Amino acid sequence: MSSPHALYLTAELRRIEQAALSALPPGTLMSRAAAAVARRSLELLGARAPGASVLVLAGPGNNGGDALQAATLLMQAGARPGVMLCPEHARRPEDAQRAFDLAAAAGLPFIAADPDRIRNGTWDLAIDGLFGIGLARGLAGDYPALIDALNALACPVLAVDIPSGLDADTGMPAGGSGIAVRATHTLTFIGDKPGLHTGYGRDHAGEVTVDALGIPKERFFPVRLVLNQPPLFAEALRPRPHYSHKGSHGDVRLVGGARGMGGALMLAGRAALHAGAGRVFAGFLDAPPAYDDRQPELMCRRAEEMDFSSGVAVIGPGLGTSVAAAESLRRVLRSTMPAVLDADALNLIATDPQLRAVLRERQGEALLTPHPLEAARLLGTDTAAVQGDRIAAARRLAGECNAVVILKGSGSVIASPDGEAAINPTGNPALATGGTGDVLAGLAGALLAQGLTSMQAALAATWVHGTAADELVAEGVGPVGLTAGELAPAIRRAINRLIREYAGDGRRRS
């Protein structure tokens, strides 16, 4: 899997950084980082930059050194920085001490590190330079109060490299403290970090920009974690030829709809139709309706009547955990057709070792769409452990189940059995409502039916699903009150636009 937007774990970034440092004079990378922070700060301040009041929180390490040098540059550009040293008297690394000495010599104004001073100040911009990616423990002492005050500010907050307190690899607060800066903007260095895009990352990082600090491209190396983007899957979305017919675009066979849960199956079926499947069959465990009056193209059946010899199966929406549900799942798993496994299909597998073994050994492609609790059940752990390292959890689950996995949530993680993984950047809190997972399952099934591999389908489905929600919110539909049933038409628009823009070869058209 290749992408223009790689995500680097902390250990990988350290390798790149050390290789670059060995070829540069001391302090070069810090000077470049400081210049980048100053430039970004001036961009955010715009016309207000001359005379602007800028709060700078500088920690004891190199992250603080970056902030100190940036504050000096801002002062030279006409801004009025006020620098809080945290702690005031700290033992600093060599480069950070050099930055402090230069700042003091330049007459940079230092102010007491006081939460009330933060709250009561009139700031045009705040710069978080407390801690970088090396933080491994939770924040304690004076830091929680300082960060609470910083997070309460109305002005833009620019995080230097990463919001202080956030784990760069996982997107969770370091050390389980629950405390991290909530930035409106993050300027991250060398390479992008997964923790800025999953877990709490999207809430705390704000708008992320990357500055490679002038490190040559040859210093970077291939990684197996990327940010999901259309070039990863767009080549599989091809314009339809005029001579195509409904049989050209695949059959989706859905199974679920136990008593009281038929709506889940309807949502998945409608999504599959809007995503381009040629025919969609909905197999109900409960008595099926004669037809769907909103989408009469859906062909409703009894689950036991479903034929699993061809097409793509989607099983789980409204499935329940009855004996009949388990039997339907067993039939799907023993078939060779590609299958999307969602909701109660995953819960059944989690409690039945035989079903799990059949899944692991089956010949057909499988795509799992768990939310964190379902993933925890499958992994024999708890939700906190899954959320504590979403990337590792998704990779482990994909390997153990021999399936592509979409671990849903903020910054959904897509992982394949061979360890390739991506974090999805689209979507918003509007998707935190019942039924949106059923829509995702139907969408993924439709893409599989149209010839995408399970990894392509997972990447495309997750990106399109989130994009549909983003566009609806931009139109004023949500985030509060958006319903799952509103997603299908927006999904159709997003897919057709992708096909037009990329014309079937993965390259964007101007």
Q: What pLDDT, on the 0 to 100 scale, is given for residue 418?
A: 96
CATH class for the domain made up of 244-502: alpha beta
- 316 labelled ligand-binding: no
- Section 57-62 average pLDDT: 95
CB neighbour class for 295 (10 Å; exposed up to 12, middle 13-18, buried from 19): middle
- 101 labelled ligand-binding: no
CATH 3.40.50.10260 intervals, the chain: 10-227
Lowest mean pLDDT among 176-190, 234-248, 249-263: 234-248
Q: Is the pLDDT of residue 510 over 70?
A: no
CATH 3.40.1190.20 intervals, the chain: 244-502
- 442 labelled ligand-binding: no
Q: How confident is the model at residue 232 (pLDDT cuts 50, 70, 90)?
A: very high
Q: What pLDDT, on the 0 to 100 scale, is given for residue 177?
A: 78
Q: Sheet harboring 207-211: ordered strands across?
A: 110-111, 80-85, 53-58, 125-129, 157-160, 185-189, 207-211
- Section 82-92 average pLDDT: 88
Q: Which helix (H) or strand (E) holds 376?
A: helix 372-379
- 128 labelled ligand-binding: yes
- 169 labelled ligand-binding: no
- 164 labelled ligand-binding: yes
Contacts of residue 77, Cβ cutoff 8 Å, sequence gap at least 6: 38, 42, 49, 50
- Section 54-77 average pLDDT: 96
- 215 labelled ligand-binding: no
- 371 labelled ligand-binding: yes
3-state secondary structure 216-246: CHHHCCCCCEEECCHHHCHHHCCCCCCCCCH
| Sign of the Cα pseudo-torsion (38, 39, 44, 45, in order) | positive
* pLDDT greater at residue 238 or residue 227: 227
- 347 labelled ligand-binding: no
Quick: pLDDT tens for 69-81.
999 999 999 999 9
- 274 labelled ligand-binding: no
Q: What pLDDT, on the 0 to 100 scale, is given for residue 505?
A: 58
- 411 labelled ligand-binding: yes
Question: What is the number of H-type helices and E-type strands within the chain?
Answer: 17, 17
CB neighbour class for 505 (10 Å; exposed up to 12, middle 13-18, buried from 19): exposed
Q: What percent of the chain has pLDDT over 90?
A: 91
Distance CA 444, CA 383 (A): 24
Q: Is the pLDDT of residue 507 over 80?
A: no
- 444 labelled ligand-binding: no
- 419 labelled ligand-binding: no
Q: How far is CA 473 from the centre of its chain?
A: 18
Average pLDDT, the chain: 95
Q: How confident is the model at residue 88 (pLDDT cuts 50, 70, 90)?
A: confident
- 303 labelled ligand-binding: no
Q: How confident is the model at residue 2 (pLDDT cuts 50, 70, 90)?
A: very low
Q: How far is CA 14 from the centre of its chain?
A: 23
Contacts of residue 236, Cβ cutoff 8 Å, sequence gap at least 6: 451, 452, 453, 456, 460
Q: How confident is the model at residue 172 (pLDDT cuts 50, 70, 90)?
A: very high
- 111 labelled ligand-binding: no
- Section 277-301 average pLDDT: 96
Q: Is the pLDDT of residue 275 over 90?
A: yes
- Torsion-angle region of residue 211: left (phi > 0), alpha (psi -120 to 50) or beta? beta
Instruction: Take residue 386 and report the two structure tokens written for it.
Output: 């899954």
Quick: pLDDT tens for 412-468.
999 999 999 999 999 999 999 999 999 999 999 999 999 999 999 999 999 999 999
Within a 10 A sphere around the Cβ of 450, how many other Cβ atoms?
A: 23
Quick: pLDDT tens for 374-395.
999 999 999 999 999 999 999 9
Quick: pLDDT tens for 358-377.
999 999 999 999 999 999 99
- 499 labelled ligand-binding: no
- 3-state DSSP assignment of residue 348: helix
- 318 labelled ligand-binding: yes
């549909």: which residue's tokens? 468
- 135 labelled ligand-binding: yes
Q: What percent of the chain has pLDDT over 70?
A: 98
Q: Is the pLDDT of residue 173 over 60?
A: yes
- 3-state DSSP assignment of residue 430: helix
Q: Are 338 and 366 in contact (CB under 8 A)?
A: yes
- 64 labelled ligand-binding: yes
- 228 labelled ligand-binding: no
Report, at the CATH architecture level, how domain 10-227 is classified: 3-Layer(aba) Sandwich (3.40)
- 3-state DSSP assignment of residue 267: helix
- 132 labelled ligand-binding: yes
Q: What pLDDT, on the 0 to 100 scale, is given for residue 4?
A: 66
- Section 246-263 average pLDDT: 95
- 136 labelled ligand-binding: yes
